Amino acid sequence: MGREHLGTPAPRIIAANHVHWIDPFLLGFVLDAPARYMAARAVFRFGGGLGALVVAPWGAFCADLRTGRGSGAIAAAITALTSGQTVVMFPEG
């Protein structure tokens, strides 16, 4: 699948491969519009919370991957989609 598949208008979900920590940032440059990123809780907690300072301005929202704790991320994704935004998810997360 190539860049030609990214031209679908929002709302949309983009499920991308994630093999390196820089992937979300690179995808941000390739997309035709701003996106919201579902990011693991560990990303936000990295460096005592410094991770949140880096990823939140890029449109990231927290996905708590612990069993039974994912409802906040699901709600955030639904809110973003119903307001016409693009949501990026990395399935291996």
DSSP state letters, 27-90:
HHHHSSS-EEEEEEHHHHHHHHHHHHHHHGGGTEEEE--STT-THHHHHHHHHHHHTT-EEEE-
Place of tokens 């979900």: 13
Q: Which of 77, 75, 88 minimizes the C-alpha distance to 32? A: 88
Per-residue model confidence (pLDDT) at position 78 = 96
- Rounded to two decimals, the pTM is 0.82
Per-residue model confidence (pLDDT) at position 10 = 82
Angle at 51 between CA 49 and CA 54, to 5 degrees: 125
Residue 92 above 70 pLDDT?
A: no
50: left (phi over 0), alpha (psi -120 to 50) or beta: alpha
Residue 1 above 60 pLDDT?
A: no
Region 84-91 average pLDDT: 89
Q: State pLDDT tens for residues 25-73.
A: 788 788 878 899 999 899 899 999 999 998 899 889 999 888 999 899 9
